[in-house]
Structure 1
């Protein structure tokens, strides 16, 4: 069994890989692999927690797909609630709501109406 570190979307995962020689042969060892649990809101909104050297409760909302920003529903400094629509992202002729995963204040908006974004582009910072 070999251990590897994999970097995916700026997060590092440690995995164990076991070589299997034959499909019909049973493995004699078991893996101690622990799966990292990610909440559905983090997956849905592509939320990224900031490192410890930043303000502790900051969250960056990143673009879950490439597209165009057709509307920005919030302003910097505005108080928001969990589930509130922050902006509308149009991708493949469908409008997608980007919602807040938490209560907080909008501390920074990195895009404007009409901007094109790529997967992972940082859209909004919430404190």
Structure 2
């Protein structure tokens, strides 16, 4: 089954300590290598840029799209990245996600959700 890890972080605190950030990045790269080699990380993932660079598209009062700067919701924590997993079940996906290296040093949170797969 396919799952996605949604990695959320408080953007204000991430990267403030350059040495700590670089150390955690090395752990993250090793984590990717380990789980990719095991066939659990599939289709890669993506680190997302700052919400300050985001655009939000919503429906205006006239029904046409309206584009605004930044995120639609004002949240302290934002989605910082996604990782696609291929696991036997939700328990395995949670076990793998629980080893994410940035949970402790940057207080990141990881949400795991099944991906709905539709047959064509």
Length-normalised TM-score, structure 2? 0.27
- Highest CA radius of gyration, 1 or 2? 1
Q: Higher relative contact order at CA 8 Å, sep ≥6: structure 1 or structure 2?
A: 2
Q: Larger % of strand: which? A: 1
